[in-house]
Structure 1
């Protein structure tokens, strides 16, 4: 059995790298002045595309859970902050993210993919 949270963290790092290819978050001439504090353990492109297809199915079936998954794993927004933004209990956010993780894990299980 795979650790779906670790898989989604690696997929989130891969997605962030793809988003950051379009623009530099640091102005020209200032790159390298500050150490990079993020440690991104990204996955391979083929694994990430497989997870991405499962997340795409989640978007079709459960768009609200998809948004939470993207905010948490790709953008790095903490669950507590998501709860404040949506004005609900943090427990609800945790449950919805767990449901989204279960959906992606089930999708990967149906596809019988080894990551």
Structure 2
């Protein structure tokens, strides 16, 4: 069983380095100006894995756009869960639950692809 948090961290680094063909916004909706632009090096997934995860993220956007935005904000942009919770004016627990559901969707989607 894979650790989806690590998989999505690697994918986020891959997508942020402009390898993603989906053309993610450089800043997720509503998060412009919250984080300083930094070029720290992160471990990236390879292109094959990145493309597979991109497909799953695109399916998530079709069904649950709020959870999609949460994944982009946290893993690609690098916003903390607390920052996202403050922006949405809800509790950290609510954001964690949404993140867990989104990660479960992506994991299930990856299982169906393999």
TM-score range, shorter chain: 0.7 to 0.9
Query: Following superposition of structure 1 onto structure 2, how do residues 1-115 of structure 1 map, counting pairs within 5 Å?
Result: 1-18=1-18, 38-112=40-114
Deviations 1:60-93 (A, max 9, x none): 0100000000000000000001000000011000
Following the alignment from structure 1 to structure 2, what is the Cα–Cα distance between the partners of residues 84 and 76? 15
Aligned length: 96
Compute the displacement of 1:38 (Å): 2.2
Corresponding position of 2:29 = none
Deviations 1:75-115 (A, max 9, x none): 00000010000000110000000100000000001112xxx
Following the alignment from structure 1 to structure 2, what is the Cα–Cα distance between the partners of residues 111 and 73? 22
When normalised by structure 1's length, the TM-score is 0.80
Following the alignment from structure 1 to structure 2, what is the Cα–Cα distance between the partners of residues 37 and 49? 22
Following the alignment from structure 1 to structure 2, what is the Cα–Cα distance between the partners of residues 45 and 37? 20
When normalised by structure 2's length, the TM-score is 0.80
For the residue of structure 1 that corresponds to 2:42, the secondary structure is coil
For the residue of structure 1 that corresponds to 2:78, the secondary structure is coil
Deviations 1:14-49 (A, max 9, x none): 011007xxxxxxxxxxxxxxxx87231001111100
